[in-house]
């Protein structure tokens, strides 16, 4: 997988992120399981996926993603 690939999310995270100011986990606001997204960044074996239909990006492991269309 690489930046620009269209992927389908096969996992629903329970946490939407971390708020450093309050030292608390954030509630996941969106249902992203089954949704399509674009890989916008790669950090080791984690992929930051943009879900443009929500205006939201989430970091996901490779095994939670299914490639739909690869960029060349």
Its pTM surpasses 0.75: yes
The CATH number of whichever domain residue 14 belongs to comes to 2.30.30.40
The Cα 34–Cα 49 span in angstroms is: 13
The Cα 15–Cα 35 span in angstroms is: 17
Per the domain annotation, does 1 fall within a domain? Answer: no
The Cα 17–Cα 3 span in angstroms is: 21
pLDDT digits (tens, 9 = 90+) for 2-49: 999 999 999 999 999 999 999 999 999 999 999 999 999 999 989 999
CA dihedral 59, 65, 68, 69 (to 10 degrees): 50
Q: What is the pLDDT of residue 51?
A: 98
Per the domain annotation, does 46 fall within a domain? Answer: yes
The Cα 62–Cα 14 span in angstroms is: 17
How confident is the model over 51-68, as a mean pLDDT?
A: 97
Per the domain annotation, does 18 fall within a domain? Answer: yes
Residue 71: pLDDT band by 50, 70, 90 thresholds?
confident
């Amino acid at each position: 997988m690489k930046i620009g690939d269209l992927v389908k999310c096969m996992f629903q995270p329970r946490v939407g992120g971390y708020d450093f100011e309050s030292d608390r986990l954030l509630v996941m606001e969106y249902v992203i399981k089954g949704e399509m997204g674009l890989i916008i960044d790669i950090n080791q074996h984690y992929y930051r996926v943009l879900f443009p239909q929500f205006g939201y990006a989430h970091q996901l492991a490779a095994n939670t993603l299914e490639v739909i269309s690869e960029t060349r």
